[in-house]
Amino acid sequence: MFAEWEKGVYDILIGGPSLAYGWLLPQVAFCSILSLESLLQRPGFQSREQAFHTIARLRSAGIPLQVLTHNPEHELLGFLGEEGYKKFFAEELAERKQFGFPPYQHLMRFETRDTSEQIVTHRLDMLEHELRIVRKRSVYRTTPPYMQKRGLYYGALTVKYDDLLTLPAFVYGEEWTVDPSPEDIQ
């Protein structure tokens, strides 16, 4: 399909934010973001930054850009002017510091899965107990019923920390997935 796009077979290309990274932009005459709100509703604390980067990248390509939104007064659009990126990142960093998001604190997500919901609950109980002994705070856990997919129950626990975190030895087993920089924290 992309080879045909490069040859000019297609007049319209619909794609996600990955198109904003530039490899197709030289052939694009006009660009439209169909919903600012959908860019901002991605899970994670980085959604505003990712939305800003997508819009700023498309604007910097010198291609006419249309942004459709229910809220044309949204503050994100106000940062798109000259030197606006400096103001945006200063505000974004201040907000992350206030709420304890990276880079001011780190997040780590632990996920476990099993065919038995009771086993998932037991594993999360053990990990939460061990981490509360070490951390004494900042442990966030999903609540039952856990996500169920293809006959497996998935449970997750997230830890926020600002220094080194000593992990219990049992989290290095096959039943645990450890993500030291999760982006899907809600």
The secondary structure of residue 25, as a DSSP letter, is G
Q: CB 101: neighbour CB atoms within 10 A? A: 19
Domain residue spans in the chain?
2-99, 106-179
Whole-prediction pTM value? 0.53
Answer yes or no: are the C-beta atoms of 51 and 40 closer than 8 Å. Answer: yes
Largest CA distance in the chain: 62
Instruction: Report the range of poorest mean pLDDT among 10-24, 41-55, 170-184.
Output: 10-24
Of the chain, the percentage scoring pLDDT greater than 90 comes to 3
Q: CB 62: neighbour CB atoms within 10 A? A: 8
At 67, phi and psi to the nearest 5? -115, 115
Closest alpha carbon to 53 in 40, 68, 71 = 40
Q: Which two tokens stand for residue 126?
A: 């053990």
Q: How confident is the model at residue 185 (pLDDT cuts 50, 70, 90)?
A: low
